[in-house]
Chain A
Amino acid sequence: NAGVTQTPKFQVLKTGQSMTLQCAQDMNHEYMSWYRQDPGMGLRLIHYSVGAGITDQGEVPNGYNVSRSTTEDFPLRLLSAAPSQTSVYFCASSWASRGEKLFFGSGTQLSVL
């Protein structure tokens, strides 16, 4: 049982490049989400999904796309990276019912030059 697996751990992009951050969980969680963590800002929700084929926007969705084709995977896409997207990104999952513990991935440190 690997839990929540995120790749890559580190990534450097040039402005305008695109990339996909991968997230997979093997706990059969219905709920998956992406957060970004910036100094002094806490964890801010980017996008989330309550099941395959269902996604919705969080607090800071601009510049990011997501899809949920399977229960296990929830990739985050940056279509045209900007320096403002330099951050640490965490994927997290939980069971769908409200009031459930979030399981976090190990994070991706992204730098956009």
Chain B
Amino acid sequence: GENVEQHPSTLSVQEGDSAVIKCTYSDSASNYFPWYKQELGKRPQLIIDIRSNVGEKKDQRIAVTLNKTAKHFSLHITETQPEDSAVYFCAASPMGRSGNQFYFGTGTSLTVIP
């Protein structure tokens, strides 16, 4: 099955700096790559996603890039703010399976220092 690796596991940045989280996947059939943000004690919430026919997608301060050849995708957060502090999960969803089987990375705990 699919294997998603996520790095780093923890990340601390100064407010206003950028943060980058990287994920790799193993199944070339994966075609949908969402990113979820989970605040302490809360449920994961989708913040951005990208499909395999697109190389980059941006939404205000958040962007995601996808390199299908290298099988890796990254989350970029610019001008970080304290409210960006949370755990971020990447996921990959293979095409051709029955239903949406999402395989998640192990998460990155982001701390934005004011």
> Once the chains bind, are B93 and A43 in contact (CB under 8 Å)?
no
Are B105 and A99 in contact, with the CB atoms below 8 A? no
| Docked complex Cα distance between A78 and B51 (Å) | 36
A42 and B107 contact, CB distance less than 8 A: yes
A40-B9, A42-B6, A43-B89 are known contacts. Are A50 and B98 too (CB-CB below 8 A)? yes
User: Smallest CB-CB separation from B31: which chain A residue?
Assistant: A99
Chain B residues with Cβ under 8 A from A42's Cβ?
4, 6, 89, 104-107
Give the bracket for the number of chain A residues in contact with chain B: 20 to 34
Is the Cβ of A98 less than 8 Å from the Cβ of B31?
yes
Assess A48 versus B106: contact at CB under 8 Å? Given A102-B34, A102-B46. no
Residues of chain B from 21 to 42 with CB closer than 8 A to chain A in the complex: 31-32, 34, 36, 42
Q: Which residues in chain B, 63-78, are within 8 Å of chain A measured between CB atoms?
A: none
Partner of B93, one of A50, A99, A106: A99
Chain B residues within CB distance 8 Å of chain A: 1, 4, 6, 9, 31-32, 34, 36, 42-46, 49, 51, 89, 91, 93, 95, 97-107
- Please give 9 more A-B residue pairs, beta carbons under 8 A apart, in addition to A50-B98, A98-B97: A43-B91, A56-B98, A96-B99, A99-B93, A101-B49, A102-B36, A102-B44, A106-B42, A107-B43
